[in-house]
Amino acid sequence: MAAPASRRAARSLRTLACIALAATGFLATAAMAAGTDAERARFRQAYAAAQQGGDAWRAQAAGLEQYVLFPYLEAAALEHDLRTLDRARVEAYLTRYPGLIPAADLRRDFLGELARRKDWTTFSAMYQPGLGDSLSCFALQAKLSRNEPLVFERDLADLWKKPNLPNACDPVIAAAHDQGLLTADRLWARIQTAAEAGKGGTVASLAPWLPPSDAPAGKRIAQALNDPAGALRDASEWPDTPRHRQALTLALQRMARKQSTAADAAWQSLGPRFTLSEQQRGAVENALALFHATDFDESALSRLAALAPGAQTDATREWRVRVALAREDWAAALTALDALSEAQKDDGEWRYFRAVVLQKLGRQSEAQALFRSVAEEATYFGFLAADRVNAAYAICPASMATDETREAALLSDPGLDRAFELYAVGLQKFARREWAAALSGRDSDTRRLAADLAFRKGWYDRAVFGLSSGDALRLYEQRFPLARQDGVVEQSSQAGIEAPWAYAIIRAESAWMSDARSGADARGLMQLLPSTAELVARRNGLAWSGGESLYEPATNIVLGTRYLAQMAARYSGAPWLASAAYNAGPNRVDQWVAARGGLAPDLFVASIPFKETREYVARVMAFAVIYDWRLNGNALSLTSRMTPIGSAYALPTSGAVRRPVSCPSPAVAKPTPPSPPAVVEPAPAAASSAPSPDEPRQ
């Protein structure tokens, strides 16, 4: 569907910023794909003109007709003029450029415009299945406009399985109801799907259509999801029926996440009134125990230990360990570690903490052997373990063999050619889409070779994402690029922080995608919010050109390193605590420090209630070790960067003791497990049906 003018204007500003970035060659190199510098410069000018609509761009594009990106120019102009386009102009473009991404986009957007116009005749003539739920529902609206009845199995069955649908589907669902297609069984089936996904809005919209005898239960399931506190207040008046038991279970689970103490009181009052199944009781007890644990309540450990086997999950078993570690109850921690699943016991985190616990219990030989085993892995816990036994860090770099014939074939691939050129001119979003389409279905060796090519051309995020499994994890040069021309070392020095830490933050935050943008509107390499960046600029007397400037790496790094320095100063210089604050916010970290600030750093990190922040701190600190090694040939010990809370951290001097790096024998060497970046590619992704138990509460 066509974007509002304001959104198009914002997108144009951002695109121009990206094009300006590419013009500087900041993250790109000169040898990119087949285009010449002159062609790229002319294309940038023509593309900026095309984004304003009309045909003025054609004069600036003279001579570019054979340039691989030429189709993107006309597409940009047509997209701008979407509301005035007719079918002939669109179909002429689609005929000239069949199969190209801008052609597919134009078809999709023009169909959305036709739906806005309610030109259902033209819409039906141009529609193709598989273009998304909105257009599928518009196609059904077109059918309804011709007075054609809906057939549930043919028209709605696939859509009906989805817990949430776009607004374009509302008239279709209403028509299906009016035609008598939404039987009670079908309504309940979708209500169940939506309830399991936590989509209370969907349940609320469907409940009034249930038979009068069922509607109250449907509304109460919606209330449980949308207003659990209100549902629990009302539940004493509910009948003890299967649907109401489900509503009560959902409300208690939701309330446990928000206010575990209030949920406890409601459970004590309401539990005896309802004949919940064993599974439902287990689900409630699980939620209560888990969220008392994330609150570190006094009863948390006993609750977790008392859970019935059927009510236990990996999350409750894990949190039993975390609570015991936070209490420094080593006997309880060992019992909890023994209760982990076999898969959990094999995880590096729990092997490390088993060694810590064994050491605390005086079982030194067992602890040392386990530390040495974990130290054979190039991970956060592997580095911590190596520090415990004074071992070298087990980093085993590998290199890729060159294959000029295959490289030439890849570079001649039209899709990859377009991808590299789009990156060269600063259209990174399109570049990633062309990249994904060109490599779809290709074998792993080809994908790795393409990622290495991208790395050598300065397109670092393709290497980070493309070399993320198996033996490719040992390609440290590609996976942890230094990009020395980006100013990280110089800006870190000026800000008073360590360059390896700043590099690690970039790698964890954006994986080197300079146009990365999070759902919270954090932008660029170091994922700064515009409001935060503006304050940092003002505090440091730096120029501020608005949020769009954060997509320029130079600006982002200047402001990001200063913000890191600001966070470090708040925590006595400690990079690990500052990293936690960078991710979760300093106010939350201050709360955790107030509650558990006496813990050793590794135990404190293990006790962080937010899974994302725990993993983020571990990822950043491990990445800092790897970047330190890449910059200096060896690395400061991870432990030296994880100073006790309240102790001052001093920047390393030139004579600082560094830990050597060596590769264990092939029999024991293990690649670094993949660490997903905090920011994923800006492409549609299915949201998790249920958040992690220890995610931040709303």
Give the whole-angstrom CA distance, residue 139 versus residue 120: 8
Lowest mean per-residue pLDDT among 23-27, 56-60, 115-119, 167-171: 23-27
Q: What is the pLDDT of residues 270-325, one digit of tens each?
A: 999 999 999 999 999 999 999 999 999 999 999 999 999 999 999 999 999 999 99
CATH class of 5-167: mainly alpha
CB atoms within 10 A of CB 401: 6
- Asked whether the beta carbons of 624 and 504 are under 8 A apart, the reply is yes
Average pLDDT over every residue of 414-441: 96
Res 367 pLDDT > 90: yes
For CATH 1.25.20.10, list the domain ranges present in the chain: 5-167
Choice among 509, 548, 552, 615 that is catalytic: 509
Question: Confidence class of residue 1 from pLDDT cuts 50, 70 and 90?
Answer: very low
Res 5 pLDDT > 80: no
Question: Confidence class of residue 477 from pLDDT cuts 50, 70 and 90?
Answer: very high
Contacts of 627 (CB under 8 A, 6+ apart): 480, 482, 499, 500, 501, 503, 504, 507
Give the whole-angstrom CA distance, residue 559 versus residue 148: 59
- Asked whether the beta carbons of 385 and 636 are under 8 A apart, the reply is no
Q: What is the pLDDT of residue 654?
A: 84
- Asked whether the beta carbons of 606 and 322 are under 8 A apart, the reply is yes
Res 490 pLDDT > 70: yes
Our CA angle for 479, 483, 487, nearest 5°, is: 140
* Residue 662 host element (H or E): strand 661-662
Give yes or no: 148 in active site. no
Length of the chain: 698
Stated pTM of the model = 0.89
Q: What is the pLDDT of residue 220?
A: 98
Mean model confidence pLDDT for the chain: 91
Res 162 pLDDT > 80: yes
Question: Confidence class of residue 82 from pLDDT cuts 50, 70 and 90?
Answer: very high
Res 693 pLDDT > 80: no
Express as a percent the part of the chain with pLDDT over 70.
Answer: 90
Q: Which residues pair with 635 in a beta bridge?
A: 659
CATH number of 484-652: 1.10.530.10
Give the whole-angstrom CA distance, residue 408 versus residue 609: 50
Q: What is the pLDDT of residue 246?
A: 98
Residue 513, classified by CB atoms within 10 Å of its CB into exposed (0-12), middle (13-18) or buried (19+), is buried
Q: What is the pLDDT of residue 666?
A: 62
Q: What is the pLDDT of residues 31-75, one digit of tens each?
A: 334 689 999 999 999 999 999 999 999 999 999 999 999 999 999
Average pLDDT over every residue of 617-645: 96
The b/e string for 382-393 (b: 16+ C-beta within 10 A; e otherwise) is bbbbbbbeebeb
Q: What is the pLDDT of residue 670?
A: 53
